[in-house]
A and B are shown apart, each in its own frame.
Chain A
């Protein structure tokens, strides 16, 4: 059973860089059917997609965050990571990593497996 687990500091100072890692266990990170993504949820608010990466290294970013975000993948460690620079209090959120599964050539796609989420607070 594939599982995802987020890890990283729970507290980040304003203007610094938030760094999170998602470890994939119980399965492969490399497949033509998988993309890997980060989604966040500020306290009491809705979900916001941040970034997605394919194991080939192709990356996709939310236009509102693109200038501050970097997503990367390390297939040897079955991990993918998120860096968000110049953080402010508005970046306080639960950060989720998730697998984006493609259900065949025309079968649609969705985030089918999620990590439990990790709360990151931006505060001095």
Chain B
């Protein structure tokens, strides 16, 4: 099975900060990676697919990069609505989620 490891587990940041979350796969997954945002009590929302493609309707301050085993999600200027938990997910071989990164207010 492919394991996905996110870092950090928790990130404290302020509005306007540039935020980067890392996701590492236990083996190469090419670009078969998606990123989701989840707020308490809500279903996850798709942000990025194929490592760097922005889902329709998602603000351009979100971007993704990487291939192979290392990937990043960047929020260029953190907004109040962005405080949430973020998950990466591989779909190269079956499906696996990372453990999540909580972005909290500093």
Pair from one complex:
yes
Q: Decide if the interface of chain B is mainly helix, strand, loop or mixed.
A: loop
Chain B interface residue count: which class?
20 to 34
Residues of A in contact with B (beta carbons under 8 Å apart): 37, 39, 46-49, 52, 60, 62-63, 96, 98, 100, 103, 107-112, 114-117
Minimum C-beta distance from A117 to chain B (A)? 6
Q: Decide if the interface of chain A is mainly helix, strand, loop or mixed.
A: strand
B38: chain A residues at CB < 8 Å are 47
User: Are B53's CB and A52's CB within 8 A?
Assistant: no
A20–B78 CA distance with the chains assembled, in angstroms: 38
Minimum C-beta distance from A40 to chain B (A)? 11
CB within 8 Å for A111 and B44 given contacts A60-B94, A63-B1: yes
Residues of B in contact with A (beta carbons under 8 Å apart): 1, 31-32, 34, 36, 38, 42-46, 49-51, 53, 55, 87, 89, 91, 94-100
